[in-house]
């Protein structure tokens, strides 16, 4: 069967304030014929829809959204703004805060009115003096937006959280208690405002990301500089960046020098120096200099664009605990209806039944997990940790075994000269100068290490009069009229029983022998050193309770032991990529939850197989971004225990949210059913769990430096 080709459209949606709103929009779009897949992202306020253009047009999808009671905020060209939120959205954010502050005052005044009305009989006076039809009209006006959404849901055969409260309003009106119904309507609106505030807070981290990308770029065209929208920059064009400006594209510096603040991408506070040939990333800031940058990636294809997209899409990878919460909320409302019916049947008290319906609120169950997950994903992204979804946070919090790749992950990924051993009267600096001159034209990594060692010591490298490289062996050269050879012992056939060479190799180092005019004049040893922050990071992981840590490497056992033994971790050596996958599967077969840390290139299959794959240094690496479930935007091992700590904090908050919501709702239902919680106080009580969830989840937004 041939798959039907589809097109994808992103639609910005206004009016979504809660998880239930997102589900309503998703259901409305999914029912449209021709829609293949749909993802509704509450945090970024948009829907990503894949559809068959031969069956349905985007206008029909927009109509489905509007029929569900929400609006599509179309941009000028019908696309999604790539860099920063629309002016309307920014204005809305600025508007919400003073409105919510005013709401707090009104909320307090209404509570005073409720207490005063109950104690001093004001509600009874209002009921007696205001005709019932007028009171019903007041109730309808106060709760109109809520009642409209309930009616729309009912037409689609759905029950939403406000359905129960609306029935409570109807029950209060039916027994002539229109002041009670009016205050219930007010508190329903108050609950909506509280949930809106909760959702707004969860969006802040994403907004901080999306608003820092520059909207325009200065490019060189036809011999002059012009300023154009970033989306119109073409690959290969030269972009001019002046001091203090944000770089608008990913690219390579062609001219100029500057200090780059890369915190927006890597989370690293220390600036980096950029010069011709240096890679730079969009949304980073050039300070103390200007640059000319050849554009290689633009817009959504830049590293920054991928960061924003991953944070947005993280909402679609929901944690299992979130799915449980959704299922519980779906079952909760019928249970509440049954409790309300039993209350009326057994107690013959319509007001108690109304109180049961009013106090029941499934919104808090729906919010308990996603608000915490969104807060953590956004906050982690700002610290240089990309998590592709809530389910990976949940899994990361349950990891039993951490597997680690060696080269480029646990180590720096490039060899360095660790030992310079002259033989005879030759000085170490002279030996290094001879070797560096001989390796001057070699492209081998060990040759680069020799040249780097000479440069670090300020050694001036002489010229080479003749040069020849032997792949897998070494080099032969003529330096200062003398024949020099630098290579491994096997190629040179020398020093087979030398104790110094044997000791260096036993320590896992690569040994080079330097020969001059046929005689050995010294040894050079190279190793790929462990990242300096690794020992402290491993100690932090063990303190978090991750005691099973194992090294996987393709190196020989001697090199693996030299690295792993000082760190106190077991190892498996001589592994091919398929062997690493087998190691992951073997651990999973034993029932362990496995995390794998790799460089995202040769380890990509194992990263994908692991329950959680963590890619080191993912900035600019497409393979790492795609293969891993968590991507670290800088090569800093301190981010690994931080990712685990964030995951565990998140799950503690989620469990706290769920426990608080469950206890609160059970207590509220019991008090209402037995007549201890009048409908008015039930209405006030139902809006409080959202505020509690917000207060608990907002702890995840705070830095833990």
Tens of pLDDT, residues 655-688: 888 888 888 888 988 998 888 887 777 766 776 7
* % residues pLDDT > 90 (the chain): 19
pLDDT attached to residue 509: 83
b/e per residue, 406-437, with b = 16+ CB within 10 A? bbbbbbbbebbbbbbbbbeeeeeeebbbbbbb
**By 3-state DSSP, what share of the chain in percent is helix, strand and coil, each rounded to 5?**
50, 20, 30
Give the CA radius of gyration of the chain: 33
Q: What is the mean pLDDT of residues 63-86?
A: 58
Query: How distant, in Å, are the alpha carbons of 141, 230, 308 from that of 209?
Result: 39, 16, 7
DSSP letter assigned to residue 408: I
Rounded CA-CA distance 153/25 in Å is 11
Give pLDDT, residue 324.
60
Higher-confidence residue: 303 or 425? 425
Q: Mind listing the pLDDT tens digit for each residue in 17-38?
A: 666 677 788 888 988 999 988 8
Quick one: which of 447, 347, 302, 380 has its CA closest to 631? 380
| 6 vs 425, higher pLDDT | 425
Rounded mean pLDDT of 550-567?
A: 85
Residue 580's Cβ-side half-sphere holds a number of Cα atoms within 13 Å equal to 30
Residue 82 has pLDDT above 50, yes or no: no
Distance of CA 472 to the CA centre of its chain: 43
- pLDDT of 609 reads 85
Residue 3 has pLDDT above 50, yes or no: no
Q: pLDDT at residue 167 above 70?
A: yes
Interatomic CA distance for residues 8 and 39, integer angstroms: 11
Q: Which residue has the higher pLDDT, 245 or 181?
A: 245
Which range has highest mean pLDDT (93-102, 259-268, 304-313, 417-426)?
Answer: 417-426
Tell me what the pLDDT averaged over the chain comes to.
78
Ranges 84-93, 378-387, 444-453, 620-629, most confident: 444-453
d(CA 190, CA 42): 20
CATH classification (class only), 400-412+531-610 = alpha beta
Please give the average per-residue pLDDT across 265-281, as a whole number. Answer: 73
Per-residue confidence band for 117, with pLDDT thresholds at 50, 70 and 90: low
Check residues 599 and 594 and name the one with the higher pLDDT.
594
User: Taking 50 as the threshold, does the pLDDT of residue 273 lie above it?
Assistant: yes
pLDDT band at 477 (very low <50, low <70, confident <90, very high): very high
Selected residue with higher pLDDT from 60 and 329: 60
Instruction: Please tell me the predicted confidence (pLDDT) of residue 259.
Output: 83
Distances (CA, A) of 359 to 228, 236, 325, 666: 55, 61, 19, 10
Whether domain 234-297 has CATH 2.70.150.10: the reply is yes
Residue 265, Ramachandran bin (φ over 0: left; ψ between -120 and 50: alpha; else beta): alpha
Q: When comparing pLDDT for 7 and 79, which is higher?
A: 7
Is the pLDDT at 198 greater than 90? The verdict is no
Looking at CATH, the fold of the domain delimited by 416-527 is given as Calcium-transporting ATPase, cytoplasmic domain N (3.40.1110)
Structure confidence at residue 625 (pLDDT)? 62
Contacts of residue 228, defined as CB under 8 A and 6 or more positions apart, other chains included, come to 216, 217, 219
Name the segment(s) of the chain with CATH classification 2.70.150.10: 234-297
- CATH 3.40.1110.10 domain range(s) in the chain: 416-527
- Work out the end-to-end distance of the chain between its first and last CA atoms, rounded to an integer number of angstroms: 54
Average pLDDT over residues 152-169: 74
| Tens-digit pLDDT profile for residues 341-369 | 898 888 888 888 888 877 876 667 767 77
pLDDT higher than threshold 90 for residue 124: no
Give mean pLDDT, residues 254-264.
80
> Angle, nearest 10°, between helix axes 87-120 and 679-686?
150
Between the alpha carbon of residue 28 and those of residues 34, 70, 78, 193, 329, the distances in Å are 13, 10, 20, 24, 19
Please list, in sequence order, all residues whose beta carbon lies within 8 angstroms of the beta carbon of residue 451, skipping any fewer than 6 positions away.
436, 439, 440, 461
DSSP count for the chain of H helices, then E strands: 27, 26
Query: In this predicted structure, what is the pLDDT of residue 54?
Result: 86
Count of CB atoms situated within 10 Å of the CB of 464: 17
Is a pLDDT exceeding 50 seen at residue 151? Answer: yes
Q: Using pLDDT thresholds of 50, 70 and 90, give the confidence band for residue 97.
A: very low
pLDDT of residue 96: 41
Active site residues: 405
pLDDT confidence of residue 595? 94
Looking at residue 2, its pLDDT comes to 39
In a 13 Å sphere around the CA of 481, the CA atoms on its Cβ side amount to 0
200 contacts 375 by C-beta, under 8 angstroms: no
Q: Where are the alpha helices (DSSP H) in 574-638?
A: 577-589, 604-609, 622-627
Average of per-residue pLDDT across 536-542: 94
* CATH 3.30.70.100 domain extents, the chain: 7-80
pLDDT at position 98 is 45
Cα dist from 526 to 277, 413, 439, 445, 454, whole Å: 27, 12, 14, 10, 13
pLDDT at 4: 47
Q: What is the mean pLDDT of residues 270-278?
A: 79
d(CA 518, CA 214): 62
Measured CA to CA, the distance from residue 667 to residue 670 in angstroms comes to 5
Q: Decide: helix, strand or coil at residue 23.
A: helix
User: Is the pLDDT at 112 greater than 60, yes or no?
Assistant: no
* Mean pLDDT to the nearest integer, 108-134: 65
Q: What is the pLDDT at residue 284?
A: 84
pTM across the whole model: 0.67
Q: Name the helix (H) or strand (E) containing 405.
A: strand 401-405
Give start and end residues of each alpha helix (H) in 415-533: 428-438, 445-456, 489-492, 499-506
Topology adopted by domain 7-80? Alpha-Beta Plaits (3.30.70)
Which of the pair, 331 or 79, is modelled with greater confidence?
A: 331
Confidence of residue 100 (pLDDT cuts 50, 70, 90): very low
For the segment 438-453, the average pLDDT, to the nearest whole number, is: 88
User: Looking at residue 261, what is its pLDDT?
Assistant: 79
CB count, 10 Å around CB of 490?
A: 11
């Amino acid at each position: 069967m041939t798959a039907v080709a589809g097109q994808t459209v992103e639609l910005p949606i206004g009016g979504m304030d809660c998880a239930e709103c997102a589900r309503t929009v998703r259901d409305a779009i999914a029912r449209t014929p021709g829609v293949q897949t749909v993802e509704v992202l509450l945090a970024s306020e948009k829907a990503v829809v894949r559809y068959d253009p031969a069956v349905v047009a985007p206008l029909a999808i927009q109509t489905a959204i509007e029929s569900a009671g929400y609006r599509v905020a179309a941009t000028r060209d019908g696309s999604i703004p790539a860099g920063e939120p629309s002016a309307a959205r920014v204005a809305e954010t600025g508007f919400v805060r003073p409105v919510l502050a005013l709401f707090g005052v009104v909320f307090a005044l209404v509570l005073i009115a409720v207490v005063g009305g109950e104690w001093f009989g004001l509600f009874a006076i209002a009921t007696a003096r205001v005709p019932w039809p007028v009171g019903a009209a007041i109730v309808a006006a106060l709760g109109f937006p809520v009642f409209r959404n309930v009616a729309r849901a009912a037409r689609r055969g759905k029950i939403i959280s406000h359905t129960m409260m609306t029935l409570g309003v109807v029950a209060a009106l039916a027994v002539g208690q229109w002041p009670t119904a009016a205050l219930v309507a007010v508190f329903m609106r108050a609950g909506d405002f509280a949930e809106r505030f909760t959702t707004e807070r969860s969006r802040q981290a994403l907004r901080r990301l999306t608003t820092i990308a520059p909207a325009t770029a200065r490019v060189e065209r036809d011999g002059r500089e012009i300023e154009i929208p970033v989306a119109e920059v073409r690959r290969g064009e030269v972009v001019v960046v002046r001091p203090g400006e944000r770089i608008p594209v990913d690219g390579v510096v062609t001219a100029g020098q500057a200090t780059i603040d890369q915190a927006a991408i890597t989370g690293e506070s220390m600036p980096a120096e950029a010069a011709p040939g240096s890679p730079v990333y969009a949304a980073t800031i050039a300070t103390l200099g200007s640059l000319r940058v050849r554009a290689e990636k633009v817009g959504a294809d830049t590293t920054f664009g991928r960061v924003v997209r991953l944070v947005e899409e993280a909402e679609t990878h929901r944690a299992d605990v979130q799915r449980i919460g959704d299922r519980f909320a779906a079952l909760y409302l019928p249970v509440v209806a049954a409790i309300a019916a039993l209350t009326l049947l057994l107690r013959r008290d319509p007001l108690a039944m109304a109180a049961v319906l009013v106090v029941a609120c499934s919104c808090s169950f729906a919010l308990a997990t996603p608000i915490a997950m969104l807060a953590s994903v956004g906050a982690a992204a700002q610290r240089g940790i990309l998590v592709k979804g809530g389910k990976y946070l949940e899994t990361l919090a349950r990891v039993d075994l951490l597997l680690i790749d060696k080269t480029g992950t646990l180590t720096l990924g490039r060899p360095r000269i660790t030992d310079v051993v002259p033989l005879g009267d030759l000085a170490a600096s002279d030996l290094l100068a001879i070797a560096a001159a001989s390796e001057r034209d070699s492209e081998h990594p060990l040759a680069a290490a020799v040249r780097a060692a000479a440069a670090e010591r300020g050694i001036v490298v002489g010229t080479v009069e003749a040069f020849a490289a032997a792949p897998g062996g070494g080099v032969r050269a003529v330096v200062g009229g003398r024949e020099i050879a630098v290579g491994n012992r096997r190629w040179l056939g020398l020093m087979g029983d030398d104790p110094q060479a044997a000791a260096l190799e036993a320590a896992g180092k690569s040994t080079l022998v330097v020969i001059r005019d046929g005689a050995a004049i010294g040894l050079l040893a190279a190793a790929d050193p462990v990242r300096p922050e690794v020992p402290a990071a491993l100690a932090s992981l063990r303190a978090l309770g991750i005691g099973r840590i194992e090294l996987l490497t393709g190196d020989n056992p001697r090199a693996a032991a030299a690295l792993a033994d000082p760190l106190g971790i077991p190892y498996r050596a001589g592994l091919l990529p398929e062997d690493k996958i087998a190691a992951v599967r073997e651990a999973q077969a034993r029932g362990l939850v496995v995390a794998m840390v790799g460089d995202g290139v040769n380890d990509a299959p194992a990263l994908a197989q692991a329950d959680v794959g963590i890619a080191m240094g993912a900035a600019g690496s497409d393979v790492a971004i795609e293969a891993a479930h968590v991507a670290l935007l800088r090569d800093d091992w301190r981010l690994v225990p931080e990712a685990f700590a964030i995951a565990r904090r998140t799950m503690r908050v989620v469990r706290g949210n769920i426990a608080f919501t469950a206890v609160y709702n059970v207590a509220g239902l019991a008090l209402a059913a037995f007549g201890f919680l009048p409908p008015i106080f039930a209405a006030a009580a139902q809006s409080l769990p959202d505020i509690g969830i917000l207060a608990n989840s907002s702890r995840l937004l705070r830095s833990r430096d």
